[in-house]
Amino acid sequence: MNITRRFPIGLVLVSILIVTALSPILSLAQEESDAKEEVKIGVLALNGDDEAYEDWNDTADYLNGICCEKYPGSNNNFSIVPVGFDEIDDFVGNEKVDFIIVNSNIYVYLEYKYDIGRIATLKKKVGDGEQVQFGGVIFTRGDHPHIFDIDDINKDTTIAAVADNSLGGFLVQKGELLNNHDIDIDKFSQEPIFLQSHKDVVRAVIEGEADIGFVRTSTIEEMVLDGNIESYDVEYLIDYSNDENFLVHEHSGPDEFPFAHSTDLYPEWPIAKLRSTPNELSERVATSLIEMDSDDAAAQSAGITGWTIPLNYQPVHDLQKSLKISPYENYGEVSLRDFYLQYRPWIVSVSVMTLVLSVLFIYTIVLYQRVVQSQKRITQLNDALKQLNDALKIINKLLRHDILNKLTGIKLNLESTGQLETNEFIS
């Protein structure tokens, strides 16, 4: 049989043209199905974008690898986005990232303002160990002639610190002095010297550029270990690590935090999900990070030993409230709007009751005035009736007198004419 009779050449050509025309569309659809969904992890760029990439790119690679391995159906591509201090609100408020890694102070601000939620807390590598909490120390130089303990600090004391927004290098010490020792450094004669570096603060105090210094826990021990300073170069003005009554957190004792600390302890940096980030994706990321080993490249690059379950950041909230810093600048001061929103049901109820009582009161006053007016009118009518009655009595008396006079006149007239006998008239 002739094949051209069974399959007309025209039909074959049309089929070829259709396949050729659909090939780009099918290819594009395949590419779209293979395309990965971008998941952006914002990271606070403390020392610029380059260092942020260097520290955290391995974490993105780690998540790309482990998520593909553990969750074959996932189609995500994780990437790092450095975020500057002045870009935080823009990136989180406008949801330009899916996750954010920031210090504890900024996290609490973002949690309050944008309702982000922590999913894990990093474990910072410190020497050969790890810490999930940190605090601050208040120290002076070992040979300071006038300052020996916390009671020697006064308004003329000069302070060296890291930065005015540094949690471990300024804020926790400021809170400690204010809340536990009634020392308000805002009232000192000189403002603190901010040096932007913990180690520079230690050097400045040792060299006599400031009387006391504020740095993060473990800074001094690491500098001693590295041979940069001697242990006798500094003197701690407060050291709770020797206080048996000091609890690091709810379920631990002082031996669990190995460094000198002059303040309460606070949780390390968290990674947080934005409100719009899917919960399923967040659970995958949290699980993967918590499973990270200390020898993973991601941990080594970031200077951590891994991640743990998210800690409680309420102590940071409480510190910010006591210092009245963002986002609690107006903490304790109730605006009219806040007062209304907080007590709206009571305000509405009292307002309605007041309105009803006011209407009833006004109605009662009006009714009372009407009663008084009615009583006055009744009194006036009674007086008028009495006067009328008296007048009628007088009229009656006058009429009787007048009638008697007339009758008497008639009688006399009749008698004089002899027409009437006296007895008849009288009878």
Strand partners, 160: 193, 213
3-state secondary structure of 159: strand
Task: Spell out the domain ranges in the chain.
Answer: 36-128+268-333, 133-267, 336-427
What's the CATH number for 36-128+268-333? Answer: 3.40.190.180
- Tokens 């009674």 locate to 382
Q: What is the CA radius of gyration of the chain?
A: 48
What's the CATH number for 133-267? Answer: 3.40.190.10
Q: Quick one: pLDDT at residue 393?
A: 84
Contact indicator for 221, 167 with CB cutoff of 8 Å: no
Q: Which residues of the chain have pLDDT under 70?
A: 1-35, 73, 242-255, 332-335, 338, 418-427
Q: Where are the alpha helices (DSSP H) in 255-343?
A: 279-290, 297-302, 314-323, 336-342
Dihedrals phi, psi of 129, to nearest 5 degrees = -120, -160
Query: Using one digit for the tens of pLDDT, what is the confidence trace for 261-303?
Result: 999 999 999 999 999 999 999 999 999 999 999 999 999 999 9
**CA–CA distance, 15 with 170 (Å, rounded to integer):** 76
Query: Using one digit for the tens of pLDDT, what is the confidence trace for 60-113?
Result: 999 999 877 887 767 899 999 999 988 999 999 999 999 999 999 999 999 999
Contact indicator for 295, 168 with CB cutoff of 8 Å: no
Q: Quick one: pLDDT at residue 427?
A: 46
**How are strands ordered across the β-sheet holding 193-194?**
193-194, 159-161, 212-216, 136-141, 234-236
Contact indicator for 117, 277 with CB cutoff of 8 Å: no
Q: Quick one: pLDDT at residue 14?
A: 53
Q: Quick one: pLDDT at residue 20?
A: 62
Q: Quick one: pLDDT at residue 254?
A: 43
